[in-house]
Structure 1
Amino acid sequence: MAGSAIEDEDLLIGVLNSAPVVEGNPTDALRAPGATEWLRGFGGHGTQEECERVRQVRDALHPLVRGTSRNVDILDSVLYTARRRPVVSPAGVSWQLETAAEEELAVRLVLAWSHITTELPGRLRPCANEECNLFLVDRSRPGTARWCSMAACGNRMKARTHARKRRSEQ
């Protein structure tokens, strides 16, 4: 069963941000112990195959979102056997995702990426802090958000800019 658009946006950001740089060292939550359990929190089945497929999609999305690649082969292969079937109820028509269980999270991930890039063009982006490996969906009205977190990266980058300006003034 597919998640809601909000749940799938959370899935997208959660998976994109599952490979942060911590104190200068790259990490990977999808290769850590408990990764399959973590995916269950997003509605996954918790299999190693599912985890590997989600990792492949994440690793394909990172350079796409950063604009350093246009290769969509992995994403295409994930969607190849997926289907959406209309389901009618008194509330109206909804669309049910039909795919293999170990592919469902990967399919939802690709569909969430497509939805965000279509509905909010240019708003899914990497953090402006080059030392950070995280991503954000900019939902601000002017579309000017630059950092994954104002408290962490935003504050750090503003402090560096301020220090650099002070040094150049002296």
Structure 2
Amino acid sequence: MAEVDDEELLLAVLNSSPVVDGRPTDLLHGPEAAKLSRTLGGCGSEQEHARLRQVRDTLQRLIREDSTETDGLLPALERVSLRPSVSVTGVAWELAAPPDDELAARVVLAWSHVITELPGRLRACANEECNLYLVDHSRPGTARWCSMAVCGNRMKARTHARRRRVEK
């Protein structure tokens, strides 16, 4: 089983509704959903996709809109438990969940881990036309864009063009 605090999984699910060519898309809906969920370690069922969409949409509202509504996360955790596994190296906790719920539960646990261990570092891209998210691992904690090469450059170019228009 993958680590419960799986940051890559969290970002993959948060970033599964990108804006492509100016239009919102949903990678957890339609024929691509099964492929994505299997790539992430899920079973690929429609119930799993629905659960992932609910978790994703709730987390996006929590992050982007500064919402406090967490009820959308509860269904992903209702049939889940953590089981201890004891060895000479200590206690490890393993997630026990029905196949349709496991991936969504891992996403919720990863979100909880990130906001606890890196408070304020999980954020939406500063480009309002983008619907992607990032975990800021920079030392000063000032990362603003999902990608400097894409959104960072676009935003800097817009700012530069705006300044030039004002100067004229």
- Per the TM superposition, whether the score is higher than 0.5 is yes
Aligned to 1:152, the other structure's residue is in SS state helix
1:67 Cα deviation after fit = 3.2
1:71 paired residue among 34, 52, 69? 69
Structure 1 runs of 4+ with >3 Å offset: none
CA distance in 2, matches of 1:143, 1:52: 33
What residue number does 2:30 align with? 32
Q: Alignment partner of 1:165: what SS?
A: helix
Mapping 1:147-162, distance limit 5 Å: 147-162=145-160
The within-5 A match list for 1:11-90 is 11-90=9-88
Unaligned runs of 5+ in 2: none
Where does residue 134 of structure 1 map in the other structure? 132
CA distance in 2, matches of 1:62, 1:148: 14
Question: Contact (CA 8 Å) 2:127, 2:151: kept in 1 or not?
Answer: yes
Answer with 48-57 or 135-144: which moved more.
48-57
TM (norm. structure 2) is: 0.95
Which whole-Å deviations, capped at 9, do the CAs of 1:59-106 have from their partners, x for residues lacking one? 111110113421111212321231111101233211011111110001
Secondary structure, counterpart of 1:159 in structure 2: helix
Moved more, 100-109 or 59-68: 59-68
How many Å apart are 1:56 and its aligned residue? Answer: 0.9
1:113 counterpart residue number: 111
Separation in structure 2 between the aligned mates of residue 117 and residue 75 of structure 1, nearest angstrom? 15
Q: Aligned with 2:84: secondary structure?
A: strand
For residues 112 and 65 of structure 1, the distance between their equivalents in structure 2, rounded to whole angstroms, comes to 14
Amino acid of the structure 2 residue aligned with 1:137: V
CA RMSD of aligned residues (A): 1.3
Structure 1: any 5+ residue segments left out of the alignment? none
Aligned residues between the structures: 168
Identity %: 60
Partner Cα separation in structure 2 for residue 146 and residue 89 of structure 1: 42
